[in-house]
């Protein structure tokens, strides 16, 4: 049996209130592609961060070729031969492929001057060994996502990396690009390198990995050669038997159809069809990158719908901007609350009323006392905890910031509420309160469309589930007695696949 190139021994990491890694053992061999899988919160990211020298482990050690190695910084990691290809590739957008590959590396000179031609030749040789060709005459910002990933890998390669860590490398790639990437991963393996690949996509695991390690709740569940385990078993390992429980049944009276979506497509997603009824939560199931946020943004008027039809009530609905959608009663709480949701430097009050300014104005003049009262009412309904509504939103906790987003949405009196990762980065207490708000809204007849990467959340909140897989429509099911196991299987299932 090949000797392990990389070994992690009894790695332990605690965050306040969370045991992120609980004595994890892991090893990867030379000439091996090793997949690391697990649900969100299983500890995959923490593990990678420790190896990258971004966070320090509380206990445990890292061994390279059997020797204990201290990795306290990114520079240490590089010296140990580690390379990291993250989803954000950290490329210099305005530089070409060659300049990016050799960034931070001694550059070739001719007559004492930097020679771009020789740089390109050298880069060409790197890509030749991979069997790919990348245009070098244009800035990488104009390259396709797959080519950009190749550039990032090329950079790691010239830095003499021998252990490659890839985090969801195939997300955002077309199927052809994906094939190329997988071919490149194979080449790296043939050359004796080690590739550790974190992914949600289990089909990819079976396509490229030699072995797979499952993490769950900070513990290693096991490592198997991919030839000796099947997808269903793997899913069961990821979820664990304890978690295989049916969600609590929710009693709801389902109302009339509010939103009827017929074969809409745009931005690489669709065609998709479904209906949203008053008083129900419709979950959009699927994996990261399945196009769920894109779908919500189309419904919210933030992205263009290219084809298909939407009916809202009995009228055609085709919002051109988020403002149009809001006026009709469709409100989005976007995924990135800091980037897309809040003006962090403005007050809680200003952030709460921003979608409803007209309601608190007469002939364009603000009626601030009315606005303040309404903001505080909506805030208390959304359980916002703040010393003052004049306080700057930045000073609130993540959970409270998210509740400000809910308060804003409540003020718009939505008929349909679109929620994109409503509890991302929110602590447990606030999460419960947000679930409570969602339940109250559906009780009042609001139709909710929910996207979340947490299976548990999807199963707890949804009445029905529509699945997306790589932008295409999958199954539509009632959330009755579904387990997390069923859910994950549905994520991988096309609309016509057999059970």
Partner 1 sequence: MRTNSGGLDSGPSLDLQRFLKTWGTLLGFVFLVVLFSLLRPDAFAQIRNLRNLVEQVATLAIASAGVGMVMVTGDFDLSVGAVASLSGVILASLLVSGVGIAPAILLTVLAGAAIGAVNGLIIAYAGVSPFIGTLAAMTSYTGLALFITRGTTVFGLPAAFRWIGQGRVGPIPTPVVIMVGVVLATWILLDYTTFGQRLYAIGGNRQAAYLAGINTSRARFFAYVYSGVTASISGIVLTSRLFSAHPQAAAPFMLNAAAAVFLGMTAFRDGQPNAFGTVLGVLIMGVLSNGLNIVGVDTYIQSVLTGAILILAVLLSGLSQRSA
Q: How many residues bind partner 1 (CB under 8 A)?
A: 36
Q: How far is the CB of 426 from partner 1 (least distance, A)?
A: 15
Residues 345, 432, 443, 494: which binds partner 1 (CB under 8 A)?
345
Which lies closer to partner 1 via its Cβ, residue 317 or residue 487? 317
Residues 321, 373, 432, 480: which binds partner 1 (CB under 8 A)?
321
- Report the alpha-carbon distance of residue 384 to residue 51 in Å, rounded: 38
Told to check if 354 binds partner 1 by CB under 8 A, we report yes
Residues 10, 74, 346, 428: which binds partner 1 (CB under 8 A)?
346
- Report the alpha-carbon distance of residue 194 to residue 366 in Å, rounded: 62
Give CA separation, 458 vs 204, 285, 324, 398, 420, in Å. Answer: 24, 8, 28, 21, 11
Which lies closer to partner 1 via its Cβ, residue 189 or residue 292? 292
Told to check if 322 binds partner 1 by CB under 8 A, we report yes
Q: How far is the CB of 356 from partner 1 (least distance, A)?
A: 9
Q: How far is the CB of 466 from partner 1 (least distance, A)?
A: 23
Mention every residue, 6+ apart, whose C-beta is less than 8 A from residue 490. Answer: 285, 465, 467, 474, 475, 477, 482
Q: How far is the CB of 94 from partner 1 (least distance, A)?
A: 15
Which lies closer to partner 1 via its Cβ, residue 42 or residue 296? 296
**Are residues 58 and 12 in contact, defined by beta-carbon separation less than 8 angstroms?**
yes
Q: How far is the CB of 414 from partner 1 (least distance, A)?
A: 11
Got the DSSP string for 337-362? IIIII--TTSBHHHHHHGGGGGGGEE
Residues comprising the chain, all counted? 499
Q: How far is the CB of 450 from partner 1 (least distance, A)?
A: 18
Told to check if 4 binds partner 1 by CB under 8 A, we report no
What backbone phi and psi angles, to 5 degrees, belong to 231?
Answer: -60, -45
Got the DSSP string for 219-265? EEEEEEEGGG--HHHHHHHHH-GGG--PPPP-------EEEEEEEEE
Residues 88, 137, 358, 496: which binds partner 1 (CB under 8 A)?
358
Told to check if 341 binds partner 1 by CB under 8 A, we report yes
The site for partner 1 (CB under 8 A) is made up of 16, 300, 302, 321-323, 325-327, 332, 334, 339-346, 350, 353-355, 357-358, 361, 364-366, 368, 387, 392, 395, 397, 408, 412
């Amino acid at each position: 049996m090949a000797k392990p190139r990389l070994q992690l021994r009894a790695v332990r990491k605690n965050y306040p209130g969370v045991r992120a890694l609980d004595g994890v053992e892991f090893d990867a061999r030379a000439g091996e592609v090793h997949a690391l899988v697990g649900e969100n919160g299983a500890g995959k990211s923490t593990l990678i961060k420790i190896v990258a020298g971004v966070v320090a482990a509380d206990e445990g050690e890292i061994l390279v070729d059997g020797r204990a190695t201290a990795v306290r910084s990114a520079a240490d990691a590089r010296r140990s031969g580690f390379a990291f290809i993250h989803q954000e590739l950290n490329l210099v957008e305005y530089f070409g492929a060659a300049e990016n590959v050799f960034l931070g590396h001694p550059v070739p000179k001719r007559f004492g001057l930097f020679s771009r031609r020789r740089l390109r030749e050298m880069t060409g040789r790197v890509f030749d060994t991979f069997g790919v060709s990348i245009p070098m005459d244009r800035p990488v910002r104009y390259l396709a996502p797959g080519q950009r990933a190749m550039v990032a890998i090329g950079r790691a390669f010239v830095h003499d990396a021998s252990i490659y860590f890839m985090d969801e490398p195939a997300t955002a790639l077309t199927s052809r690009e994906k094939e190329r990437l997988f071919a490149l991963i194979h080449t790296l393996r043939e050359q004796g390198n080690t590739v550790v690949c974190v992914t949600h996509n289990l089909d990819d695991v079976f396509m490229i990995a030699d072995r797979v390690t499952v993490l769950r709740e900070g513990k290693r569940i096991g490592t198997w050669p991919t030839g000796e385990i099947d997808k269903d078993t793997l899913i069961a390992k990821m979820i664990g038997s304890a978690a295989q429980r049916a969600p609590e049944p929710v009693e709801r009276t389902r109302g009339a159809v509010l939103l009827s979506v017929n074969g809409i497509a745009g931005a690489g997603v669709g065609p998709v069809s479904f209906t949203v009824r008053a008083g129900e939560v419709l979950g959009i199931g699927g994996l990261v990158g399945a196009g769920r946020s894109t779908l919500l943004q189309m419904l919210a008027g933030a992205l263009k719908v290219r084809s298909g039809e939407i009916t809202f009530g009995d009228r055609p609905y085709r919002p051109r901007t988020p403002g149009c959608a809001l006026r009709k009663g469709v409100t989005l709480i976007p995924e990135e609350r800091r980037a897309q949701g809040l003006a962090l430097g403005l007050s809680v009050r200003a952030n709460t009323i921003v979608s409803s300014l007209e309601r608190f104005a007469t002939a364009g003049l603000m009626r601030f006392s009315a606005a303040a009262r309404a903001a505080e009412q909506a805030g208390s309904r959304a359980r916002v905890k703040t010393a003052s509504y004049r306080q700057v939103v930045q000073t609130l906790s993540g959970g409270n910031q998210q509740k400000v987003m809910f308060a804003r949405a409540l003020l718009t009196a939505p008929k349909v509420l679109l929620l994109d990762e409503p509890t991302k980065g929110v602590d447990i207490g606030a999460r419960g309160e947000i679930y409570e708000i969602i339940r109250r809204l559906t009780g009042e007849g609001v139709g909710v469309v929910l996207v979340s990467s947490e299976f548990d959340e999807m199963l707890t909140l949804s009445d029905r589930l529509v699945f997306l897989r790589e932008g295409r429509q999958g199954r539509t099911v009632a959330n009755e007695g579904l387990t997390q196991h069923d859910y994950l299987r549905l994520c991988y299932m096309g609309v016509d696949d057999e059970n």
